[in-house]
Amino acid sequence: MITLSIKTDSPFTEVEVVDQHFRTVWTGIGSADLPLPIGIYKVRLGTGADAHEELVAATAEMSHETVGVSPRKASSGKQLLSSAAPMIMFCSTSHEYHHYPSFKILNGDPIARGSGSRIFLFLRQPDESKSLVPPQGISLLTPTGREFYSLELGTTDFENRYSAFHIEVDPGTYALSVPAPDGGSVCIAVPAIRGWCTQLYLVPYMAPVQFESFVDVSQISMFMRDPSFEKHVSEDDYNTMFQEQLYWLEMARKLFARFGTVASPETLFIEEQLPELNSMLQNKFGNPMLGIFAAHLLAPQKLISQWLLSEVIGNLRGLVGDIPDVAALQLLNPESRESRDVLDAPPILKASYDLALNKQPSDMSSGNGWITDVADRQVIASPYFAWRKIARSYELDDAAIKAARAIMESRAAISVSNLAGLLNCHPVESWLLAWFFDIGAPEPFPWEFAEQMFARVVELSATAPEANPYIEPLVKESRLPWPTLITHIDRLRSRFLKITHIRKQQPSTPMPSFPAQRASLGHHIRYRQA
């Protein structure tokens, strides 16, 4: 036997070792020493979208040696990452001519738009062969969706390809809105925390079809720092200090970008990586995002004790207050359950939303403002909780009503997906229609029954959550809060009422009772007209 030593420099790197027959002999995350028979092996390393593969020979002469395998490294020994963050030591696309301006702008006085907390945004074009497209449509929004501050008002240097702003604002949750290739906008939550500067780093990408420049929200680097930090270091120190923190932060973001919520067995950590993760927890005092990421990584896998978790969350509360992400993490501590709605504003991370949904679905049965409004517009491919700013109109026009009535009167067959298209349904309403009525092939649709059933579900929503058999299966399967769902159910009822109201003069079809087993079955019971 020889020892194959895998050195990954990161606890987040996925590692697979394959033998000559393409059989997996080991899989895990992070560095490991593997006793293996003599032979040729293939080692595959992956972090986010970065992948590396290498063949290694473990020969008899190496019986007391180790074989080192590591991904592409920076001179510092760390794995090189592609990142928007100012990581000049570990990032292949970072340039000093981007870091110095960001340092200077951060070191200067912010533009006053409130007081108590700061937000800094820096957009840079790292590719020297491309020019910086004038930033349009990148804005901070208020909780009501009103534009608060635009990057167009900030400092732009086309020669050095960057644009930035640094503003002082009242504490609260804002949203960053960036244009999307489809003409709409995508938002993520930006908490402005008293005593902290929330920093956002963005890089553009070229949409393949439109040849225009956009920002992929999943690649945004976001973290918080004490605003006095930049004032106390030199420009040279600025490029070296906190590099390690940013490295771990970006590795964690990439992991969340890859897996969404990190609760998969594929991402289990082994104890050897705990020092790095504990280091993230310790460094949260200088950068609370590290603590939020690390707590999300460690706690679901029970790699830290409840006592330590309580302390970490207590520290985070002390640092940044009860922002939604910290309140969601608090749900992991069974002894101190939150009694309030933890998501009274959108969280930074999708993992926090999922945690709240999984741990306290009852919270999702009450109305809680902003989150309810945006939950049905979520953008799924992001480590951040991201949503579309503008939803297209889903009004039911007269022509559609007329066409639907014709189909109803003639008892013509129509599939549920075509019906959803005909009625210009919102995606959530289409999903609800399929959940309640999809029977596969086109059949005559039970128009009146549908209207009555949706009306009945709306009625049930006024009762106690325990008496409503729809809440649990619908919330679980849709992963949307109940208020969002009931809003759409009510809209569906309204749509069907517009189509069937002429027939209301006549006695309607008797309302069948709801099958008692629906909730216990936990999946689709499809209703069909007799």
424 binds another protein (CB under 8 A): no
18 binds another protein (CB under 8 A): yes
Give me the least distance between CB of 257 and another protein, in Å please.
9
Query: Quick one: how far is CA 172 from the chain centroid?
Result: 20
Pairing of strands 111-112, 162-169: parallel
Closest distance to another protein from the beta carbon of 530 (Å): 17
**For another protein, which stretch binds (CB under 8 A), given 51-59, 64-72, 329-337, 462-470?**
51-59
If you search the block for the tokens 């490029």, which residue do you land on? 239
- Decide: residue 42, CB within 10 A, 0-12 exposed, 13-18 middle, 19+ buried: middle
Q: Restricting to residues 209-268, which ones interact with another protein according to CB under 8 A?
A: 258-260
| Least distance from another protein to the Cβ atom of residue 42, Å | 6
Q: Are strands 39-47 and 50-58 parallel, antiparallel or unpaired?
A: antiparallel
* Closest C-alpha among 107, 276, 99 to residue 197: 107
Q: Which stretch binds another protein (CB under 8 A): 75-83, 164-172, 242-250, 420-428?
A: 420-428
Which listed residue (26, 36, 46, 137) binds another protein by CB under 8 A?
A: 46
The H or E element containing residue 242 is none
Q: Which is nearer to another protein, 151 or 262 (CB)?
A: 262
Q: Toward another protein, which CB reaches closer, 22 or 307?
A: 22
Which of these ranges, 112-120, 150-158, 430-438, 483-491, lies near another protein under the rule CB under 8 A? Answer: 430-438
Among the listed ranges 104-112, 279-287, 421-429, 496-504, the one in contact with another protein (CB under 8 A) is: 421-429
Q: Does position 148 bind another protein by CB under 8 A? A: no
Q: 209 or 464, CB closer to another protein?
A: 209
Chosen residue from 268, 270, 381, 412 binding another protein by CB under 8 A: 381
The residues, any chain, with a CB within 8 Å of residue 485's CB and separated by 6 or more, are 428, 432, 474, 475, 478
Count of chain residues binding another protein (CB under 8 A): 56
Q: Which residue has the tokens 């049905």?
A: 376
Distance of alpha carbon 350 from alpha carbon 384, whole angstroms: 5
**To the nearest whole angstrom, how small is the minimum distance from the Cβ of residue 500 to another protein?**
22
The amino acid at residue 71 is P
Rounded Cα distance between 167 and 154, Å, is 9
Do 272 and 304 meet the contact criterion of CB atoms below 8 Å apart?
no
When asked if residue 379 is in the footprint of another protein (CB under 8 A), the reply is yes
114: left (phi over 0), alpha (psi -120 to 50) or beta: left
Site membership for another protein, residue 431 (CB under 8 A): yes
Taken in order 476, 480, 481, 483, is the CA torsion positive or negative? negative
The reply to whether 274 sits near another protein by the rule CB under 8 A is: no
Q: Is position 438 an interface residue for another protein (rule: CB under 8 A)?
A: yes
CA dist., res. 485 & res. 471, Å (int): 9
Residue 38 touches another protein, criterion: CB under 8 A: yes
Of the candidate spans 121-129, 224-232, 322-330, 419-427, the one that interacts with another protein by CB under 8 A turns out to be 419-427
- How far apart CA 426 and CA 419 sit, in angstroms, is 12
The residue assigned the tokens 């066409």 is 403
Decide if 361 contacts 192 (C-beta within 8 A): no
Whichever of 38 and 270 has its CB closer to another protein, that residue is: 38
Q: Taking a C-beta distance cutoff of 8 angstroms, is the pair 334, 313 a contact?
A: no
Residues that bind another protein (CB under 8 A): 16, 18-24, 37-42, 44, 46, 49, 51, 53, 55-57, 59-61, 258-260, 377-381, 388, 391-392, 415-417, 420-421, 425, 427, 429-431, 433-435, 438-442, 524, 526
